[in-house]
Amino acid sequence: MIKEKLKVLLDFDGNLTAEEKQAAELADIALDMLADILGVPVTDIEALYQEIKNQIQQNPHLYPWEINGLPACYAYEGAYLLNTVILQHILKSSPQFLKIVAARYPSSALDSVTLCVNHLFHQGSFSVNPHFLPGVRDFLIDLLTSDSIEATIFTNSETRKIANNLKRLSIGAKGTAHPYEHEIAILGDTRQYHLDRNWTQTFDHPTHGPIQVLEIDELFQVELRRPIYHAALTKLVNQGYRDIVVIADGFSLAGALPLMMGLSFILHKTSYTPAWAENYVAAHPKGRVASNLPHIKNALLG
């Protein structure tokens, strides 16, 4: 019965893969694409990239990934995120760049800069081979064959990309034709980054009462106004699992909202995990920090 099962939502990039290696490959692809879009030499874009990267590393709290004028997360919370924020700042560095992007990517639910950067990520990452973490296939199969767990890959990446990458592990995407013994459900393009300042939902904080922004300390805070992500999680909550645990390498994007909804979150600690995120999750009654896949497996299966 579904009420007896633990629903496990697995982030893909950075959680099941070595995102640092993938991000370096994507950066080269994205810079070439961006130079073509803007009509400037790629060497100019590369110089801007390195300049902005240096600035971010000196003052990370000043460089969030902005979505519709709100901070979705901080650049250094992930290797892909750092690349994304640098590209965002490259576009914002020139009125001419902004004009080109606005014409090519008209604003809709998201601003033109975000749409352009998303395009660079989604299209570019299709050309990047996954660098799976050691033991990832056995880890996934252990979850998929457990009677007490229902696992789903839950990601901002496109479902098609994840399905193609899983073929390298001889694991199929649930709901598609494939020759593999094991399969897993994939819920892609979850838009954990999508923010809406007009969303009125609040969350009960034990000290501060109803909030929409989670204050970590004097430098860092996390926006909770993520209606698309909230809707996806709420749909699962309403299905009646005994608990839902989200597992990801990023706190602001994937972890803060589930914790404020009363769900469980395991932060997969990596080389780029900020101390403030690790400390907050470790201190939370529904949070846990794990440094590798065996630790995560032990937390789930004992």
Structure tokens at 47: 């110089």
Is there a single domain that holds both residue 200 and residue 281? yes
Total domains in the fold of the chain: 2
Residue 13, helix vs strand vs coil? coil
Residues 183 and 112 reside in one and the same domain: no
CATH code for position 226:
3.40.50.1000
Do 256 and 236 belong to one domain?
yes
CA dist., res. 201 & res. 230, Å (int)? 10
End-to-end CA distance of the chain: 21
24 in the same domain as 12: no
- 136-180, pLDDT tens digit by residue? 999 999 999 999 999 999 988 889 989 999 999 999 999 999 999
Q: Which two tokens stand for residue 109?
A: 């639910």
**pTM score, whole prediction:** 0.91
Residue at a domain's end among 63, 96, 125: 125
- Domain match, 189 and 86 both: no
The alpha carbon torsion through 164, 228, 53, 61 (nearest 10 deg) reads -140
* Same domain as 175, residue 37: no
Q: Which is higher by pLDDT, 69 or 290?
A: 290
Containing domain of residue 198, as a range?
2-17+130-301
Q: pLDDT (tens digit, 9 = 90+) per residue, 44-82?
A: 999 999 999 999 989 988 999 988 889 999 999 999 999
